[in-house]
Homo-oligomer: A and B are copies of this chain.
Amino acid sequence: MPSDAIRAALVRRLHTSSGISEEDVKDIDALPIAVRQYPAEAIVVRDGERPSECCLVVDGFCARSKTIASGRRQILSIHIPGEIPDLMSLFLHVMDHDLTTLTPSTLGFIRHETLQKLHRRRPNVAELFWRDTLIDSAMFREWIVNVGQRPAPARLAHVMIELRERLRIIGRLDGASFEMPLTQEQIGEALGITAVHANRVIRQLREDGIVELHRGRVTVLDERRFLELADFDGRYLHQSPVL
């Protein structure tokens, strides 16, 4: 993958959520990034570690999760290219969760010092990154609501639509279906239900003619009922910099 393509995703992301100047882009383009490949299901950064670099998703799907004493795992967020899932490690030095790959992924690593220098040099870029971590936080809030208040079928629909909206933003929406490369086990972990129940819910949505999930791809069968079920209000994604 060419070096500029790696940065393009990041810059586009900062661009869509906030304003950014030409000089800022040039500066970001000059950042040294170490690219590494990971297989699926790899742990990139582990709970308890003290990373010295941040991880940019260049290609592939990643997830953040926490595992409790009983062994149950909760997926906290799903990440797509252009995002920096562990930006928080810049100031919260000890990881309080895991960062793992869902699919084979290309990841870019930027050293903390590099980012800290960038912030000193360009306070408005620092604000952009700050804003990014705040959107991250807003997505956690919505995730809490999803897991805490919605019935399981609505939870699944909501996660699907959030993912679809985010894929749309980075221009990865090809046709009527979209990628959601999670096993039913992982879907259960994301929704706070067991894999067995996740299967029940997936089947029900298929039988009801609302949405189909097959081999990591989502196909919407009835858009109106899909939206209605998900109870989705995308405001929490904070995608208009003007707002």
CA of A131 to CA of B134 in the docked complex: distance in angstroms?
Answer: 11
Contact status of A92 and B144, CB under 8 A, knowing A68-B149, A231-B70: no
Question: Which residues of chain B come closer than 8 Å to A150, judged between CB atoms?
Answer: 68
Q: Mark A64-102, 1 if CB is under 8 A from B, else 0.
A: 101011101110100000000000100111101100000
A2 within 8 A of B: no
Q: Mark A3-45, 1 if CB is under 8 A from B, else 0.
A: 0000000000000000000000000000000000000000000
Question: Which residues of chain B come closer than 8 Å to A140, judged between CB atoms?
Answer: 137, 140-141, 143-144
Q: Mark A121-143, 1 if CB is under 8 A from B, else 0.
A: 00100110011011111101111
A49-74, CB < 8 A from B: 64, 66, 68-70, 72-74
Q: Is the CB of A148 within 8 A of B74?
A: yes
Question: Which residues of chain B come closer than 8 Å to A238, judged between CB atoms?
Answer: 92, 94, 96
Main secondary structure of the interface of A (DSSP, over half): helix
A182-230, CB < 8 A from B: 191-192
A1 within 8 A of B: no
Contact status of A235 and B96, CB under 8 A, knowing A130-B91, A148-B192: yes
Question: Which residues of chain B come closer than 8 Å to A69, judged between CB atoms?
Answer: 231
Q: Is the CB of A130 within 8 A of B133?
A: yes
Q: Is the CB of A141 within 8 A of B66?
A: yes
CA of A126 to CA of B116 in the docked complex: distance in angstroms?
Answer: 13
CA of A236 to CA of B74 in the docked complex: distance in angstroms?
Answer: 15
- Chain B nearest CB from A134 CB (Å) reads 5
A167 within 8 A of B: no
A243 within 8 A of B: yes
A147 within 8 A of B: yes
Can you offer 6 A-B residue contacts whose CB atoms are under 8 A?
A64-B141, A66-B142, A74-B144, A88-B134, A133-B133, A147-B147
Which residues of A are at the interface with B, using a C-beta cutoff of 8 A? 48, 64, 66, 68-70, 72-74, 76, 88, 91-94, 96-97, 119-120, 123, 126-127, 130-131, 133-138, 140-145, 147-150, 191-192, 231, 235-236, 238, 243
